[in-house]
Amino acid sequence: MKRSIIATYWLLTAAAFAGCVAMTAFYTPVEASMGPVQKIFYAHLPVAINTFFAAMIVFIASVGYLWQRKFWWDDLASAAAKVTVVYCSVVLLTGMIWGKSAWGQWWTWSPRLTFSLVLWLLYVVYVMLRPSIESPHRRAIVSAVYGLVAFLDVPLVYLSVRLMPDIHPTSVELTDPMKWTLLAWFFPISLMMLGLVRARYLLNARQRQRIQPEVAA
């Protein structure tokens, strides 16, 4: 893909990101009960949703590898797994910051927070497991099976707050400016997720081409 298109993509993402920060700071009103810290929500939710999407890419790519045994599926799954870890880290950190301000504690073992931490750990293990397996075929198969199983935690994270008693909020009352800000944040966060997965995938593919040129993609 032409460098100019990639550069435009990332410039657009950066501009949208900056625009959303400005929108959050100057356009969105301060929520009456929680104060300014509530504004973390406008980035926290889109990052959380995109964490699930990144995990879904790992799942689909894992199925793809087990079905076709083409290494580009493995490169894609590995790329998406790393992005899942990064995004999930942001979800946990922003959640903790919000929790410290709102509840007075950085962490509580509520179902949603616990399942979210498990999600993070599952994908960290995925990323750490791979370099320990020397054979590219075995690494791809083990990663693919693990990627299928790890995704099972995603519905648990999503549904836990609805099925079990939880301190984590389930629904929030939003005014129109708040709704627009929340929707706006999905744009740069989603563009970043897709861009990061693609960039990491290309890096994986190039590295595989150098290290194992005999392995067909």
Contacts 24+ apart (CB under 8 A), 99-102: 101/34, 101/35, 101/37, 102/34, 102/37
DSSP labels, 69-119: --HHHHHHHHHHHHHHHHHHHHHHHHHHHHHHHHHS-S----HHHHHHHHH
What residues form DSSP beta bridges with 31?
Answer: 35
98 binds other proteins (CB under 8 A): yes
Binding-residue total with other proteins (CB under 8 A): 37
Does 49 participate in binding other proteins (rule CB under 8 A)? no
User: Per rule CB under 8 A, is residue 36 in the interface with other proteins?
Assistant: yes
Is residue 140 involved in binding other proteins (CB under 8 A)?
Answer: no
The set of residues, in sequence order, having a beta carbon less than 8 Å from that of 184 and lying 6+ positions away, is 16, 19, 20, 23
3-state secondary structure (DSSP) of residue 160: helix
Note whether 174 and 31 are within 8 A (CB): no
- Pick between residue 129 and residue 194 the one whose CB is nearest to other proteins: 194
Residue number with CB closer to other proteins (36 or 155): 36
Of the candidates 101, 108, 114, 190, which one interacts with other proteins according to CB under 8 A? Answer: 101
Q: Write the interaction track for other proteins spanning residues 185-214; mark x where CB under 8 A is met and - where it is not.
A: ----x--x--xx--xx-xx--xx--x----
Among 10-18, 60-68, 107-115, 155-163, the segment contacting other proteins (CB under 8 A)? 10-18
Give the binding site for other proteins (CB under 8 A): 10, 14, 17, 21, 24, 34-40, 43-44, 47, 83, 86-87, 89-90, 93-94, 97-98, 100-101, 189, 192, 195-196, 199-200, 202-203, 206-207, 210
